[in-house]
Structure 1
Amino acid sequence: METKQLQQQLFRHLKESLPSHLSLVDELCQLLDLSADSVYRRIRGEKPVTLIELKHICEHYHLSLDQLLQLKNDSVLFRAPGITNPSIPFIEHMKGMLEQFRYFNSFKQGEISYLCKDAPFWYFFLFPEMAAFKTFFWCKTINNEPALANQSFSLEEHRFEECFAIGKQILEEHSRMNTVELWNLESIHSSINQIAYYRDAGIFRDKKDLLAVVESFIQMIDHLQAQAAKGVKFMPGATDIGHRGPIQFYVNELILGNNTILLNLDNKKISMITYSVFSYLITQDNRFAAKAFDTFNTLLSRSTLVSRSGEKDRNRFFNTLRDKVDQLRTQ
């Protein structure tokens, strides 16, 4: 392919990657400090982009030269938000996720598909007690934040109200999108194990804190079942759910994959894989997306849809989850 064609293809790719309300020309004028006429000449291929301009474009739009030059190899470029500053507070991870969801919703049409090895991060912020526990666990045990090093968990002391407020905003953004979720009976096991560990290690300050967290966990499961029954996402206590995004809730009792988020935004495919518990890798590589979507759809074909219809299978699944959580009260 000639240089001019490659350059034109680059700018076509960038235009397709932007939400429809954004102007590629305006963005490039600001990014490259060029006039509109200079940008248009580059878009048409009349003026070659310089190496420094290409560097700025690749950094800003998270592109790789492999993608641009269509090199046929197994390399895939992933972004890892926050990796350049691995010690950032947990709340900054949450703010980053909120910005991601706002970006997703800047497109006219958006669908999110989630292969749930673990329950999706945002659902833990449906109710304050579970939100407080999970935030404490992530901050203390995973993020190793010094302020919590020698502390036990107390709902009175550790409310994490700012994190809870951001979590609610993430839920609001998520509820606007069409959603397909694939769950397994083990999707809540990691959270059960976290509560059990804190219980057995004496990290709950009081038995009433443990019981409140378990009750909040069951409330979360009840809410997810209600969403599946209605086939639509909504916030606890909401009366008008007509404007919310639909949800297709699938259960697969045999296969447990990894946490994978797949997005289709105005036919733009984005793939996200979680790592280090609550961090994630993200790529727009079309080859990776094609394989990931194909695998996800294959799993769906071997799973049971329990949203709207499938009442018997839905009740059986959620009753099993509740029984598992309820055992935390007495063990």
Structure 2
Amino acid sequence: MSDFQVAFFERLRAALPDYQNLAQSVADALNISMNEAYKKIRGNSALSLQQVVQLSDTFNVPFIYNPNQSSSVTFNFLSVNEDLNMVNYLGDLLANLKLIQQSKTKHITITTDDIPIFHFFKYPELTAFKLFFWANNVNNSELKFDGSTITDEIIALSGELHRLYLEIPSTEIWAKDTVHGTIEQIRYAYEAGYISNKALAEKVVEQVRYCLTDMNMYAISSKKTIDPNHTFNWYNCDVLGSIAYLVDFKESMLCFNRFNTFNYLKTNDQFYCEQTKRWMQGLINKSIAFSGQGEKHRNKYLYESFAACDALIGEIAG
């Protein structure tokens, strides 16, 4: 029990913002003395089942126990109903991103064949289109995209998500066709009549171009803001296999795997996260660097992506 308990407290520590003391937080949550809290953190005093539940509920961190060291992995996921309430969806993303951003040591590594949605959040129409497209996939509906879904609440949530992501050091590994997935979604929506407004369709494509221009700026300086701590590394790998987000807190890790188009499974199983980290490092070793000095390959990739955007704008305008 002692080893599992110590590991549990390490996950609690990683979930706390820098300014929050673990022992004080545990003492407050369990209504015990600081001295007793330190004993439990060190594993010298066993947690009761009720205390485990109390800490898990308070800090939203599960206590994981695998009998006989079995290879099973526990995942959590946000249950989104058929209405696909995007405010709730974005709110859940925001809660997760805040926990990551508040940690003293953090880094996100992403493998993806679709542009990470955090880059879209700067652009309301593009964000709304992406959420609309996902909603249509879930509901198999015939809804029209006219921009009416861009509410003030969604704009506010999106802006905060974008700001937080810029402040988190990250490494992104994109596939060969990562950009084209979004372009083809816009083309399909326009040709199928889901977007009847030409100006709106062109604006969404233009915002994909803006998004790629942002990526180029991040890659040139190897950081997402003027703060040198907000580092950014960008790679291109022809074959990825899955969309995954790995958050490394140094003391522990957290992994998100995307599924069902827009949703994700989340686990802090350290063995699974370690395997994912090794897999991602292997991909990086086989990838072409776009950030820093990777100007030649990055420019070619972006040129082809911009050309695809321009071609679609031409189709819409014609």
Question: Shorter-normalised TM-score: what interval?
Answer: 0.7 to 0.9
Is contact 1:117-1:259 (8 Å) kept? yes
What amino acid sits opposite 1:248 in the alignment?
Answer: N
CA-CA distance at 1:74 after TM superposition:
1.3
Residue in 1 that maps onto 2:71: 74
Structure 1 residues 45, 119: CA separation in 2 closer, same or farther (over 3 Å shift)?
A: closer
CA-CA distance at 1:296 after TM superposition:
0.5
State how 1:183-202 maps to structure 2 within 5 Å.
Answer: 183-202=174-193
Structure 1 residues 47, 103: CA separation in 2 closer, same or farther (over 3 Å shift)?
A: closer
What amino acid sits opposite 2:150 in the alignment?
Answer: R
Residue in 2 that maps onto 1:17: 14
State how 1:135-174 maps to structure 2 within 5 Å.
Answer: 135-139=131-135, 141-144=136-139, 151-155=143-147, 157-174=148-165
State how 1:40-119 maps to structure 2 within 5 Å.
Answer: 42-43=40-41, 48-58=46-56, 60-66=60-66, 71-80=68-77, 82-83=78-79, 89-119=85-115
Structure 1 residues 169, 243: CA separation in 2 closer, same or farther (over 3 Å shift)?
A: farther
Q: Percent identity?
A: 22
Tell me whether 1:318 sits opposite 2:302 in the alignment: yes
CA-CA distance at 1:185 after TM superposition:
2.1
In the alignment, the residues of structure 2 paired with residue 162 and residue 137 of structure 1 have an alpha-carbon distance, to the nearest angstrom, of 19
Scaled by the length of structure 1, the TM-score of the pair is: 0.83
What amino acid sits opposite 1:204 in the alignment?
Answer: I
3-state secondary structure, aligned to 2:258: strand
User: Aligned match of 1:309 in 279, 293, 299?
Assistant: 293
What's the CA shift string for 1:275-315, capped at 9, x where partnerless?
12222111111111111011101110111112121211110
3-state secondary structure, aligned to 1:61: coil
User: Aligned match of 1:120 in 94, 106, 116?
Assistant: 116
Q: In angstroms, what is the RMSD of aligned CA positions?
A: 2.7
Is contact 1:114-1:260 (8 Å) kept? yes
In the alignment, the residues of structure 2 paired with residue 302 and residue 107 of structure 1 have an alpha-carbon distance, to the nearest angstrom, of 30
Residue in 1 that maps onto 2:258: 274
Moved more, 107-116 or 26-35: 26-35
Gaps of 5+ in 2: none
Is contact 2:190-2:196 (8 Å) kept? no
Tell me whether 1:283 sits opposite 2:274 in the alignment: no
In the alignment, the residues of structure 2 paired with residue 249 and residue 103 of structure 1 have an alpha-carbon distance, to the nearest angstrom, of 24
Is contact 2:258-2:264 (8 Å) kept? yes
In the alignment, the residues of structure 2 paired with residue 231 and residue 170 of structure 1 have an alpha-carbon distance, to the nearest angstrom, of 20
Residue in 2 that maps onto 1:237: none
Number of matched pairs: 312
Gaps of 5+ in 1: 235-240
Structure 1 residues 34, 144: CA separation in 2 closer, same or farther (over 3 Å shift)?
A: farther
Tell me whether 1:233 sits opposite 2:217 in the alignment: no
Is contact 1:107-1:266 (8 Å) kept? no
Scaled by the length of structure 2, the TM-score of the pair is: 0.86
Moved more, 99-108 or 288-297: 99-108
